[in-house]
Amino acid sequence: QVQLKESGPDLVQPSQTLSLTCTVSGFSLTSYGVSWVRQPPGKGLEWIAAISSGGSTYYNSVLKSRLSISRDTSKSQVFLKMNSLQTEDTAMYFCAGNWDYWGQGVMVTVSS
């Protein structure tokens, strides 16, 4: 059974760095790519970053300078780091595998 689960802080101070982890089970990270997608409250979906099955990385054009995606295949985990957080980064953050499978999301609030 395929599962993805996001973990990370629910509250981050402005200007700080957000670190999120997506832990997958039921498939290998060397078989399927994983993306991060976010959704501000009451708004639409925004693709943030992806890491392919081969380990190549891709980023949202606007957020690119603030993002880093990586993985640990032995632990079946994908990591997302976003720096210089602002209030507009407040959102539900999802990870998705091959687009078929999604985690439940983690709500991150940026506030002092």
Query: What does the binding site for another protein look like in residue numbers (CB under 8 A)?
Result: 35, 37, 44-47, 50, 58-61, 94, 96, 99-100, 102-105
Cβ of residue 99: shortest distance to another protein, in angstroms?
5
User: Looking at the DSSP assignment, which residues form a beta bridge with residue 35?
Assistant: 50, 96
* DSSP-derived secondary structure for 24-45: EESS-TTTS-EEEEEE-TTS--
- Taking the least distance from each CB to another protein, the nearer of 27 and 94 is 94
78 membership: H or E segment, kind and range: strand 77-82
- Taking the least distance from each CB to another protein, the nearer of 29 and 67 is 67
Cβ of residue 41: shortest distance to another protein, in angstroms?
12
